[in-house]
Structure 1
Amino acid sequence: MNRLRLVLVDTEGSINLGMILRLAANFSVKEIYIVSSRQYDQEEVKKYAVRADYLYDSLIRVSSIDDALAGCDIKVCTTAKSSEEDVLRSTVSSAKLPELLSGYGSVCLVFGRESTGLTREELSKCDIASTIPTSSEYPSLNLTNAVAIYLYELLS
């Protein structure tokens, strides 16, 4: 993999968006698409981005997930649900992604809404569904935490 694009689908909060921008800077990710018509509190985003606030101005806003995925060799969607929970395909652990993605040039890594994740339709547009193994009693991570784990797994 020589290029990673973060795709954020309808991120619900300015704080999470700012923290994700900071993570993107930590891991040298410069290509960040946001699929949303939502208006974010720019001051709050930049506050939580800390010294990565410059990335806010380079966010690529698109109106559809198709636009965000265009041009990527492979698309990975993230989900809190495991294969047994009726995801459209088998899920791959975040730890196994580096090996699976090693032969691809450009990778889209897609994250859903904090409250509901990605829809089935959005999941169907990706080639791989991936999950971070967590407790079955409470499998959902905060969006920012999930982004941090994936970036670490893929780029360290």
Structure 2
Amino acid sequence: MREVIFILANAAREENIGAAARAIKTMGISNLYLVAPIANHLGERSRATAHGSIDILEKVKIFSSLSDAIEGIDLVIGSTAKKRNVAQVYNPVDDLPQIILDKGNTIKNVAIVFGGEESGLSNEQLAQCHFLSTIPMYRKYPSLNLAQSVMVYATYLSKVTLQWKKKSIDPPVEAELP
């Protein structure tokens, strides 16, 4: 089964974890991983902000490192608001669905990785991603919180999950006979 996985590394606020769960569920995505979380994903504030998405919180997978979380994932995309001194390709979020769908059957799963609220992903974590992605923003105030960023990416990546589901449901088309 093909899947999109959202990974939050070093999430420090319960509210952001809960809101992220709500965002991905709203967009038809159900896989949430946490890497070395600082906040409790089952805490009172996480549950309150998840509003109807407790099932996502209850099946969260927790990992001690990003390398453990991405093991076996075919395509890993790092989300970053800042251009870093790393030699990687940056793609805007709105290009991601086509990039992923163009890979066809070569991938079964995709992960989008977000860093902690204070400093984002470390250079070491960014280096573990196949490429990086950004959300184009108004430059005078280029700031979204973690849960808002998750919602933006979930909106775009839901296009991928919808296409994957459609392809798995549609019957194969018979070749035309001469």
Same fold (TM over 0.5): yes
Check if 1:115 corresponds to 2:118.
Answer: yes
Task: Give the structure 1 partner of residue 66 of structure 2.
Answer: 65
TM-score by length of 2: 0.81
- Indicate conservation of the 8 Å contact 1:88/1:123, yes or no: no
- Indicate conservation of the 8 Å contact 2:13/2:38, yes or no: no
Residue 92 (structure 1) shift: 0.4
The verdict on how the C-alpha distance between 1:39 and 1:144 changes in structure 2, with shifts beyond 3 A counting, is: closer
- Indicate conservation of the 8 Å contact 2:13/2:39, yes or no: no
- Indicate conservation of the 8 Å contact 1:35/1:63, yes or no: yes
The verdict on how the C-alpha distance between 1:12 and 1:98 changes in structure 2, with shifts beyond 3 A counting, is: same
TM-score by length of 1: 0.92
The sequence identity of aligned pairs, in percent, is 29
The verdict on how the C-alpha distance between 1:13 and 1:94 changes in structure 2, with shifts beyond 3 A counting, is: same
- Which residue identity lines up with residue 43 of structure 2 in the other structure? Q
Flag as ranges the 4+ runs of structure 1 deviating above 4 A: none
Residue 37 (structure 1) shift: 4.6
| CA RMSD, Structure 1 to Structure 2 (Å) | 1.6
- Indicate conservation of the 8 Å contact 1:81/1:87, yes or no: no
Task: Give the structure 1 partner of residue 128 of structure 2.
Answer: 125
Q: Distance in 2 between matches of 1:127 and 1:37?
A: 23
Q: Distance in 2 between matches of 1:137 and 1:119?
A: 24
Check if 1:138 corresponds to 2:141.
Answer: yes
Residue 43 (structure 1) shift: 1.3
Q: Distance in 1 between matches of 2:116 and 2:146?
A: 8
Q: Distance in 1 between matches of 2:94 and 2:56?
A: 27
The verdict on how the C-alpha distance between 1:37 and 1:26 changes in structure 2, with shifts beyond 3 A counting, is: closer
Task: Give the structure 2 partner of residue 79 of structure 1.
Answer: 80
- Which residue identity lines up with residue 18 of structure 1 in the other structure? G
- Indicate conservation of the 8 Å contact 2:10/2:34, yes or no: yes
Residue 137 (structure 1) shift: 2.6
Task: Give the structure 2 partner of residue 88 of structure 1.
Answer: 87
- Indicate conservation of the 8 Å contact 2:33/2:60, yes or no: yes
Check if 1:152 corresponds to 2:155.
Answer: yes
Residue 38 (structure 1) shift: 2.3
- Indicate conservation of the 8 Å contact 2:29/2:158, yes or no: no
Q: Which runs of 5+ in 2 are unaligned?
A: 160-178
SS at match of 1:51: coil
Q: Which runs of 5+ in 1 are unaligned?
A: none
Q: Distance in 2 between matches of 1:37 and 1:46?
A: 15
Equivalent pairs, count: 154
Check if 1:3 corresponds to 2:3.
Answer: yes
Cα distance per residue 1:33-77 (max 9 Å; x no partner): 100152426111111101111221111011010111011111000
Q: Distance in 2 between matches of 1:119 and 1:135?
A: 24
The verdict on how the C-alpha distance between 1:77 and 1:54 changes in structure 2, with shifts beyond 3 A counting, is: same
